[in-house]
Amino acid sequence: MSSIEIEDRLGITFCNRQSIAIERGEGCLVWDEDGKKYLDFTSGWGVTCLGHSHPLITDAITKQAKKIIQNPNSGFTYSPPRAKLLEILNKVLPDNLEKIYFANSGAEANDAAIKLARKITGKSKVVSTLASFHGRTFNTLSVSGGRDNAEQFLPALEGNCFVPFGNIAALAAALDEKTAAVILEPIQGEGGVRIPSDEYFSAVALLCKERGILLIIDEIQTGFCRTGKFFAIEHSKVSIAPDIMTMGKGIAGGFPFAAFAVSASVDKQLKKGDHGGTFCGNPLACAVATAVVNYLLSEKIADRVARSGELMIDGLCNLRKKYPQLIGPIRGKGLLCAFELDSDYLVTKVTEAALRRGLLITPTRNRIIRLIPALIVTDAEIAKGLELLDCALASVVQRH
């Protein structure tokens, strides 16, 4: 019985699966159970930032696993790998963020940020944006404005509201005396790689400061060099000082891990017992994340990503000229890129056509296809991916 048959029989499926069972990967390439090779432009939804099976990551896992994986009494004890990671993250975070806590996933980090913001302020309202996505926990779904099925799981949470992304006037109008926090992605990922103006976040930060409202920046998809800066908030013309910043995905190159950092003023209002977790900051995850962050810095990956992103966008623009009847707007920063089609139906067809030709891409709601390759993708691999995408688009045009 194949892996696909076993998963269909025994596993719970909450999404439309592609009929492919991936057995192994190396760099930007993966192979299925039958040995067919694919070029991966999804990187596990932005997670495998150094590609698949990078020796740096496998070595870090092996070395640390031979020492200790989970501390006795978990977070009650100190940990050398955790201390090393804290030191290196302190060097790359915005200057005002002084304390860091580790989590298991981006959703968990955002959930904690929202929970702690409500505890600190004594207020419950959180303002988010339309088409945003911050996770699938109870708390994070309540501030995700791009999931049309959220109401199936949530009772109405008093006060929470959504405003158009990039619209500072709408945000200002939504803030009131009941508002605990504003939560924003620097670039909306799940919402279709939507990029605000360079002035937007400086205006948001000023507005939150003037009104005594906490600003939570969600860098889960955009952080760790994904957009050509170590954190996407660095694209702002003015230095931004969030009260809480959440991180995940690329932080450990594919190992499940996340974090959030807080300012000194926020830290002063936190008490022992306000948050916790069994696996938070375990030695194995911290060792892997330390290796990844060190590599990103030493190899100047952010600069490489900025150049690779320009190559990707130029290629997509050429495809739009070739298929103007099919491709609409193109957006991107670094290696977080997207293009619009006329319908979700066409997104499905292009995704399927690309898969048949050996290219994995990410179908996204609202007629969007995202391209999120590993940060180490080569120019030749970008060219090959665009060539395969060209063939997929041509086949869809011919059929439809």
Tell me the C-alpha distance between 26 and 152, whole Å.
40
pLDDT of residue 141: 84
Instruction: Tell me, yes or no, whether 196 and 212 share the same domain.
Output: yes
pLDDT of res. 149: 54
Q: Are residues 188 and 316 in the same domain?
A: no
Using CA atoms, how far residue 58 sits from 54, 79, 86, 282, 289, in Å, is 6, 20, 21, 17, 12
Same domain, 217 and 126: yes
Tell whether 309 and 197 lie within a shared domain: no
Q: Do residues 202 and 134 share a domain?
A: yes
Whether residue 81 lies inside any domain: the answer is: yes
Amino acid identity, position 353: A
Q: Does residue 367 belong to any structural domain of this protein?
A: no
Helix (H, G, I), strand (E, B) or coil at 172: helix
If one counts the domains in the chain, the total is 2
Closest CA to 364 of 339, 388, 389: 339
Q: Is 140 found in the same domain as 194?
A: yes
| pLDDT for position 1 | 77
Do 177 and 317 reside in the same domain of the chain? no
Q: What is the pLDDT of residue 17?
A: 79
Tokens of 171: 């945000």
Q: Residue 182: beta bridge partners?
A: 127, 215
Buried b (16+ CB within 10 A) or exposed e, 119-155: ebbebbbbbbbebbbbbebebbbbbbbbbeeeeeeee
Q: Is 397 part of a structural domain of the chain? A: no
Residue 107's alpha-carbon distances to 134, 288, 325, in angstroms, are: 6, 20, 38
Does 370 fall in a domain? no
Q: How far is CA 156 from the centre of its chain?
A: 27
CB 223 within 8 A of CB 250: yes
pLDDT for 5: 83
Specify the amino acid at residue 30.
Answer: V
Residues 115 and 264 in one domain: yes
pLDDT digit string (tens) for the chain, length 400 residues: 788 888 888 787 777 778 889 999 999 999 999 999 999 999 999 999 999 999 999 999 999 999 999 999 988 999 999 999 999 999 999 999 999 999 999 999 999 999 999 999 999 999 999 999 999 888 888 888 865 555 666 665 667 899 999 999 999 999 999 999 999 999 999 999 999 998 999 999 999 999 999 999 999 999 999 999 999 999 998 899 999 999 999 999 999 999 999 999 999 999 998 898 999 899 999 999 999 999 999 999 999 999 999 999 999 999 999 999 999 999 999 999 999 999 999 999 999 999 999 999 999 988 999 999 999 999 999 999 999 999 999 999 988 6
Do 226 and 154 sit in the same domain of this protein? yes
Q: What is the pLDDT at residue 146?
A: 62
Count of CB atoms situated within 10 Å of the CB of 49: 30
Residue 206 domain-assigned (yes or no): yes
Q: Is the dihedral of CA 172, 191, 302, 96 positive or negative?
A: positive
Which residue in 130, 177, 128, 184 sits closest to 157, CA to CA? 128
Q: Are residues 119 and 245 in the same domain?
A: yes
The CATH number linked to 178 is 3.40.640.10
User: H or E element: which one contains 354?
Assistant: helix 344-356
278 and 309 housed in the same domain: no
In a domain, 216, yes or no: yes
8 A C-beta contact, residue 62 and residue 54: no
Quote the CA–CA distance of 208 and 217 in Å, as a whole number: 12
Question: What letter does residue 290 receive in the DSSP assignment?
Answer: H
| Measured distance CA(285)–CA(282) in Å, rounded | 6
Contact 227, 49 (CB under 8 A): no
Domain that holds residue 146: 70-298
- pLDDT for residue 399: 81
Look up the pTM and report it.
0.95
pLDDT at 151: 63
Any idea which residue has 């492919």 for tokens?
20
Query: Phi first, then psi: what are they for 158, rounded to 5°?
Result: -60, 125
Q: Is residue 63 part of a domain?
A: no
Clarify whether residues 254 and 137 are in a common domain.
Answer: yes
- CA–CA distance, 183 with 131 (Å, rounded to integer): 13
Q: Does residue 290 lie in a domain region? A: yes
Cβ pair 282, 69 in contact under 8 A: yes
